Amino acid sequence: MEDGDAPYAAAFLRHFTEDRPWVHLDIASKELADADRPLGRQGATAFGVQMLEEWVQASRRVN
């Protein structure tokens, strides 16, 4: 997919939700790290996935 294709992906996925509440999270990061770092290896950073995981963990601590 190219930039701007997330709305089309969401519209496609809506077909399978059967009128249930849902959300489309476009978390596939295109960011690349040029070297290994403390939180990840060289290559794709998975920034969106890491951010979602942090949000879930923080929500659990609050509740």
Higher-pLDDT residue of 38 and 35 is 35
The alpha carbon of residue 9 and the mean position of all alpha carbons in its chain are separated, in whole angstroms, by 13
Per-residue pLDDT, averaged over 11-27, amounts to 85
pTM for the model: 0.48
Tokens of 20: 């249930």
pLDDT of amino acid 58: 92
Residues ≥6 apart with Cβ < 8 Å to 8: 1
Q: Could you give the percent of the chain with pLDDT greater than 70?
A: 89
- Mean pLDDT (the chain, rounded): 82
**Tokens read off for 46:** 């998975």
The CB density around residue 62, as the number of other CB atoms within 10 Å, is 5
Give the model's pLDDT for residue 1.
47
Rounded Cα distance between 6 and 35, Å, is 28
Position with higher pLDDT, 50 vs 18: 18
